[in-house]
């Protein structure tokens, strides 16, 4: 995971020496919004109107943050309106590359470039910052709209409704306050918490992250005893933000990131809930388990210097989940 400094690539890992061994995630630098009429969103500039064929999404099948955007592209019927390029799972000295493979890495379908960092410098020749996915690209203005996944999924949730006729709402006005509260806890302790554990370089940093992570999993297990989804009987963005972490838990985070107190399958409600979301129409095809397992184990040589890809548990994602709404429960 390198970065650009004044537009020049540097193969430089996260600095944990100044944080007592703790992993600190950098904030996204591009924060514009696509809106239905092109007016400015909550941040950034105006001019990014929702139009069919105008935008391109760069993703990794391995990355949980990019995975969110692929799911929303499916949920909101945007496959014919927003094109996609998928990076190769091996992220080595020059970061994400556009090599191809038989498991879904497509190459750069837009410019034929070789590395993701070239997309950033195409938008800003002097860019300084981490080169991350997802990247939402505007073909018309030849720039990056956003590289912040939490905001991209909210754009996809509503900006294109007039084009697609799909008005499914995963960020409903009446639930926004509780969604934000749940998102905040899950992001800090679980979505990002697995990285705090895995990228910790001191025992103190690991110990500080691991207990909140499993406290949150226990809390979720109890919550899902009463609710079908996190906010009741309605699926919201909070569920999809959680799903991309749970989908990787047993195959990657449990072993590779030392989150091994329990497995996902040891939580009956969480495991059934995760299977239900996996079985949601269109979602399974966004789950690239080969890329997920290979990326983490092969790319993180500070954790796995031998780059051995482990054999993994065989999980039955298609087993009946038997989740029912609270209203229909006996």
Which residues are part of the catalytic machinery?
A: 63, 195
DSSP secondary structure letter of residue 170: S
d(CA 300, CA 132): 15
pLDDT at 75 over 50: yes
Confidence of residue 12 (pLDDT cuts 50, 70, 90): confident
Residue 181 has pLDDT above 90, yes or no: yes
Q: Average pLDDT, stretch 68-90?
A: 98
- Model pLDDT, residue 17: 58
d(CA 120, CA 2): 13
Which domains, from first to last, does the chain contain? 3-164 (3.40.30.10), 173-280+315-328 (1.20.1050.10)
Phi-psi group of 258: left, alpha or beta (phi > 0 → left; psi -120 to 50 → alpha; rest → beta): left
pLDDT of residue 16: 64
What is the overall mean pLDDT for the chain? Answer: 94
According to DSSP, the β-strands at 135-138 and 143-146 are: antiparallel
**pLDDT over 70, % of the chain:** 94
Q: pLDDT tens digits for 21-57?
A: 655 556 678 999 999 999 999 999 999 999 999 999 9
pLDDT of 329 higher than 50? no
* Predicted pLDDT at 2: 83
Count CB atoms within 10 A of the CB of residue 138: 20
Q: Regarding beta strands 82-86 and 55-59, do their DSSP bridges make them parallel or antiparallel, or are they unpaired?
A: parallel
Given a cut of 60, whether residue 245 has pLDDT beyond it is yes
Q: CA end-to-end span of the chain, whole Å?
A: 50
pLDDT at 327 over 90: no
The residue-averaged pLDDT of 134-142 equals: 98
Instruction: Please write the tens of the pLDDT for every residue from 204-221.
Output: 999 999 999 999 999 999
Q: What are the structure tokens assigned to 95, written together?
A: 């970061």
**pTM for the structure as a whole:** 0.94
Residue 307: band (very low, low, confident or very high) from pLDDT cuts 50, 70, 90: very high
Q: Identify the burial level of 103 via C-beta atoms within 10 angstroms of its C-beta, where 0-12 means exposed, 13-18 middle and 19 or more buried.
A: middle
Q: With contact defined as beta carbons under 8 Å apart, do 148 and 31 qualify?
A: yes
Judge whether 288 and 247 are in contact, CB under 8 Å. no
Distance of alpha carbon 61 from alpha carbon 263, whole angstroms: 22
pLDDT at 128: 94
Residue corresponding to tokens 């092969």: 298
Is there a contact between 50 and 159 (Cβ–Cβ < 8 Å)? yes
The per-residue pLDDT for range 249-265, each reduced to its tens digit, is 999 999 999 999 999 99
Instruction: Give the other-Cβ count within 10 Å of 31's Cβ.
Output: 17
Average the pLDDT over 71-89 and give the result: 98
- Judged against a pLDDT cut of 60, whether residue 273 lies above it is answered with yes
Contact partners, residue 329, CB within 8 Å, separation at least 6? none
Is omega for the bond preceding 134 within 30 degrees of 0, making it cis?
yes
Write out 88-102 in H/E/C secondary structure: CCCCECCECECCECC
| pLDDT at site 330 | 37
- Tokens encoding 227: 């609710």
Helices (H), 76-144: 117-123
pLDDT at 14 over 80: no
Q: Quickly state the pLDDT bin for 11 (edges 50, 70, 90).
A: confident
């Amino acid at each position: 995971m390198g970065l650009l400094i004044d537009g020049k690539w540097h193969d430089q890992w996260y600095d944990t020496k100044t944080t007592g061994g703790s992993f600190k995630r950098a904030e996204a630098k591009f924060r514009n919004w696509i809106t239905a009429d092109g007016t400015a969103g909550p941040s950034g500039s105006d001019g990014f109107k929702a139009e069919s064929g105008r935008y391109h999404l760069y993703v990794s099948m391995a990355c949980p943050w990019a995975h969110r955007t692929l799911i929303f592209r499916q949920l909101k019927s945007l496959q014919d309106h927003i094109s996609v390029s998928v990076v190769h799972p091996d992220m080595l000295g020059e970061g994400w590359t556009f090599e191809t493979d038989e498991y879904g890495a497509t190459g750069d379908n837009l410019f034929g470039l070789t590395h993701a960092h070239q997309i950033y410098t195409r938008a800003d020749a002097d860019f300084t910052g981490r080169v991350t996915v997802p990247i939402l690209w505007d073909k018309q203005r030849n720039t990056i709209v956003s590289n912040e996944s939490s905001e991209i999924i909210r754009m996809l949730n509503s900006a294109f409704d007039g084009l697609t006729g799909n008005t499914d709402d995963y960020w409903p006005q009446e639930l926004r306050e509780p969604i934000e509260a749940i998102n905040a806890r899950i992001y800090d302790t679980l979505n990002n918490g697995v990285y705090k554990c895995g990228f910790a370089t001191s025992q103190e940093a690991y110990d500080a992250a691991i207990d909140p992570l499993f406290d949150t999993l226990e809390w979720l297990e109890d919550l899902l005893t009463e609710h079908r989804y996190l906010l009741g009987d309605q699926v919201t963005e909070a569920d999809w933000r959680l799903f991309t972490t749970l989908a990787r838990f047993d195959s990657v985070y449990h072993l590779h990131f030392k989150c091994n107190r329990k497995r996902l399958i040891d939580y009956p409600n969480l495991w059934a809930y995760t299977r239900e979301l996996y079985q949601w129409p269109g979602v399974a095809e966004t789950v690239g388990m080969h890329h997920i397992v290979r990326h983490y184990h092969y790319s993180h040589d500070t954790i796995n210097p031998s780059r051995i890809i482990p054999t993994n548990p065989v999980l039955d994602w298609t087993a009946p989940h038997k989740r029912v709404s609270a209203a229909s429960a006996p």
